[in-house]
Amino acid sequence: MKIGFIGLGIMGSPMSVHLQNAGYQVAGYDIVPEAGASLVAAGGTRATSIAQAVQGAEVVALMVPDSPHVEAVLTGAGGVLQHAAPGTLVIDFSSIRPDVTARLAEQVKAAGLRIIDAPVSGGEPGAIAATLSIMVGGEADDVALAQPILDVVGGTIVRVGPNGAGQTVKAANQLIVAANIEALSEAVVFLEAYGVDLEAALKVLGGGLAGSAVLNQKAGKILAREFGPGFKIDLHHKDMGIVTSAARNAGVVIPVGALMAELVASARANGDGALDHSALYRGVLRLSGKKL
């Protein structure tokens, strides 16, 4: 089976490599040509356009940053709908607005293609280890068709409803993750103020009710003050905009989410947008008048 993979960044690159290594024939495209180096090294093909990537493909996978990018890739000039064959399955791994996903799904289906939204959680480590959590929205038959591909890149894969449902669950995921990172960051600054052995403290906290995947994955980056991006604050800023907007549209109140949206925006405004979201710790230091 041939897969056209659009978007070979931090997440898309290792995902495309896993698919190539699993026996699929992957043609990858990215606006940054050198982004396809890992895929080519694994035996895949670097396409020079979306049209070339999707030519002959039975499946087209997307992993791009935001709603406008997905819309352009699918419906824009030279996009997937112009060049993919009828019956092609589109798997959108991107994290975008649920309402945009639902609208695009209607357009894709009207063009004779199939589509599921399959946003992921786990960041770069999860993409590299192929242990991503994948929240899937779409028709049950389409999800079943995609299952072998999802199994290659994910560890926990759950259909959560129709098109758009995957994006809704991903928005909730990003709210929980942001709040957890902020709580961990505040706890570390608090412990530092009292001169506590941080490694010992986080070890015992991780063994109790305060333990979490966030603590396991992000505490080390905070302690080392090493914030190379596994998931950029810029992207989490986008995601907090999605969840706060969707909550407002649904008429529900998420006060912690609103606060987190402001704290993430502040981190971005202070120049931390390209850093890992664990760099929310730096925002706690700034608010506390501490040295970065």
Question: pLDDT digits over 140-190, tens only?
Answer: 999 999 999 999 999 999 999 999 999 999 999 999 999 999 999 999 999
The residues, any chain, with a CB within 8 Å of residue 264's CB and separated by 6 or more, are 178, 233, 236, 237, 240, 277, 280
- 170 part of the active site: yes
Q: How far apart are CA 5 and CA 85, in angstroms?
A: 15
Mean pLDDT of the chain: 97
Q: Catalytic residue, from 109, 170, 232, 238: name it.
A: 170
Is 90 exceeded by the pLDDT of residue 245?
yes
- With 0.85 as the threshold, say if the pTM is over it: yes
- Please say whether the dihedral angle defined by the alpha carbons of residues 167, 19, 72 and 86, taken in this order, is positive or negative: negative
2-161 and 168-287 in the same fold = no
CATH code reported for the domain at 2-161 = 3.40.50.720
SS3 of 92, please? strand
pLDDT at residue 227 above 90?
yes
168-287 carries CATH number 1.20.1630.10: no
Domain boundaries, the chain: 2-161, 168-287
The closest of 103, 55, 51, 99 to 73, measured between CA atoms, is: 51
pLDDT at 33 > cutoff 90: no
DSSP 111-151: TT-EEEE--EESHHHHHHHT-EEEEEES-HHHHHHHHHHHH
Q: Is the dihedral of CA 65, 69, 75, 81 positive or negative?
A: negative
